[in-house]
Structure 1
Amino acid sequence: MKHQLQHFFKLTGFLLLTALAFACRKDTPFDEDSEQGAKTPSLTVKGLYVLNEGNWGSNKSSLDYYSYDDGKYTRNIFGTANPAVTLGLGDVGNDIKIYGAKMYVVVNGSNKVEILNASNARQVAKLEINNPRYVTFYKNFAYITSYDGYVAMVDTTALSTIKTKIMVGNQPEEMAVVGNKLYVANSGGYNYPNYDRTVSVIDLTNNTEIKKIDVAINLDRLRADQYGDIYVSSRGQMDQSGEYIINPSLFVIDTKTDLIKKDFKIPVSNFSINGDDAYLYSYSYATQKSTYVKLNVKDETIVSNNFITDGTETLIATPYGIEVDPSSGDIFLTDAKDYVSPGTIYCFDKAGKKKFSFTTGDIPAHITFLFK
């Protein structure tokens, strides 16, 4: 009996310590040396850039700017700032981020990354990468996924050359840095129905892939929260008739163990995380209907099944891009409409009420904030 009681108290103590450790991890924002993770509340937003994809082969990618100071929205500022670039921004703008004083614009169809002055959008350099997809940063390096199956590492001071290529899975998409690890969503998007289903983990101390985490097929969006967890979406798989045979979903990976800790079992087209709040939308091409879900990433629960609270979601035909202002909590959501006409960007306050909207270029897809 004495040994049984000792075992009981040891087990109880272990479970209590485990629970406290988990709670403490979720109560404490993750310390991360990258542009991902917790945002600094003291930063003041000066404006935002909108990257319009433009249809494949149309060479109609464009860059817009919204100024917080005067409320003015200006279209196609790249062409105005760079009149000597005769072909314009290029074909299919796929990602945009600001790091330091420079802005990186990934132009997928043109096989390049335009590196611009973040304050005026003037060209600083151009980097040639075959089939580039997304960009993220760690210390003095930019990491860019290529559908050729690698992550290109580029020195942000040299700019024009690739330092190394880190081989990952098939057709890698989005990335996020947590601590000294880079997480890469591998899609295998060209390989229907034999998609990839892994997240590559790269050790940034030596820039090598150290493992692959098996998650689900055709991975796409990937974000880090402020507690060191990774949220990654799966597009699922359809049959030839357009019916899902494997449903899309959203998964959470604990980067301390690199194990899946939760499957939300909800479809996600795109999402943005700001503090404890995650805003997700999903668009169904079959039904042409959308959902707008809000999550709490601290306790990993669904807060609302519609974060747009004033009924104006009916104005949005085809949601296509989303980001949250880290200082105000305003939600910016873009509408690609019919993919051939100018789109719209909407701003909602953090209570979910529409504040304003502007007409954009064709297929507005990606947003980045410029800070003062």
Structure 2
Amino acid sequence: YKNLIYQLNMNNYTVQDSIQVGANPEEIVLQSGKLFVANSGFGSGNTISVIDLSTKTVTEIITVGDGPQWIRESGGMLQVLCIGAYGDFSDPNDDTPGGIWLIDPATNSVVDSLVLAAGIHPSDLAISASGKGYFSNGSGIVEYNPASLQVVNANLISGFFYHVSVNPANGRLFVLDAKDFISPGELIIFDENGAELERHSTGIIRGDVQFINLTN
């Protein structure tokens, strides 16, 4: 809860420096020679810290939606997925919807946004090499166009999923189902049109899928 990001020495894995950012930082992306840090505030934050790597200081703060957690690059622009803020028992009307905010990293400015319907709190964000975007909305996987921020298919794949990633080599969707969160989950692979290809049992609450090119 120190709200810091750390610079590591990758030769001996020691901390070399730290930079103060906003509340509860999540993902970090390097773009245009700058670091962009999503400050989620566990749903109460709504900013992206921009860090100049030459000075290791925050030079600008960009306001987006509530709860920014994921940042992806597409077409030279940054896609920021915000989960929104959940209403509490004392005031259920303070719930705010999530969505995607488009940032131009050259100007550090928001140029467009896709705000979802009230009560929708998306999670995860994946963009294929061919330019198709995907996120989970609590009832399934949504396909959208990252360039226009228009929803292409609001229910590409039905279900409650814990994570979605895209294989950069073939565009296939790797989706994690945590089941009841105490039993082994599943990895389900779909083609880019949402047709199921295969299933594999995993451990309990597997939360991420990474792709590594072993030919290099």
1:329 partnered with 2:171: yes
1:219 counterpart residue number: 68
| Greater Cα shift, 246-255 or 227-236 | 227-236
Q: Sequence identity, in percent? A: 28
Letter in 1 for 2:135: L
Cα deviation per residue 1:286-307 (whole Å; 9 max; x = unaligned)?
xxxx132111223332221122
**Structure 1 residue runs of 4 or more that deviate by more than 3 Å after TM superposition:** 241-244
- Picking from 21, 36, 47, the partner of 1:168 is 21
Deviation at 1:343, TM superposition (A): 0.6
1:355 counterpart residue number: 197
- Picking from 99, 103, 106, the partner of 1:249 is 99
Distance 1:296 1:249, change over 3 A: closer
Distance 1:260 1:342, change over 3 A: same
1:188 counterpart residue number: 41
1:232 partnered with 2:81: yes
Distance 1:244 1:361, change over 3 A: farther
1:156 counterpart residue number: 10
Gaps of 5+ in 1: 1-146, 284-289
Deviation at 1:244, TM superposition (A): 5.5
Distance 2:57 2:105 in 1: 17
Distance 2:202 2:93 in 1: 32
Distance 1:225 1:243 in 2: 35
Letter in 1 for 2:27: E
Secondary structure of the residue aligned to 1:361 is: coil
Cα deviation per residue 1:61-93 (whole Å; 9 max; x = unaligned)?
xxxxxxxxxxxxxxxxxxxxxxxxxxxxxxxxx
Distance 1:250 1:242 in 2: 25
- Picking from 115, 125, 140, the partner of 1:271 is 125
1:232–1:252 CA contact under 8 A, matched in 2: no
Which has the greater radius of gyration? Answer: 1
1:206 partnered with 2:60: no
Distance 1:187 1:170 in 2: 6
Distance 1:330 1:218 in 2: 28
Letter in 2 for 1:154: L
Distance 2:57 2:16 in 1: 13
Letter in 1 for 2:82: S
For the aligned residue pairs, the C-alpha RMSD in angstroms reads 1.9
1:304 counterpart residue number: 153
Letter in 1 for 2:19: I
Deviation at 1:353, TM superposition (A): 0.6
Secondary structure of the residue aligned to 1:369 is: coil
Provide the aligned length of Structure 1 versus Structure 2. Answer: 208
Using structure 1 for the length normalisation, give the TM-score: 0.53
Distance 1:279 1:367 in 2: 15
1:230–1:254 CA contact under 8 A, matched in 2: no
Gaps of 5+ in 2: none
Secondary structure of the residue aligned to 1:342 is: coil
Secondary structure of the residue aligned to 2:2 is: coil
Distance 1:280 1:242 in 2: 28
Letter in 2 for 1:167: Q
Distance 1:233 1:217, change over 3 A: closer
Deviation at 1:243, TM superposition (A): 4.1
Deviation at 1:164, TM superposition (A): 0.5
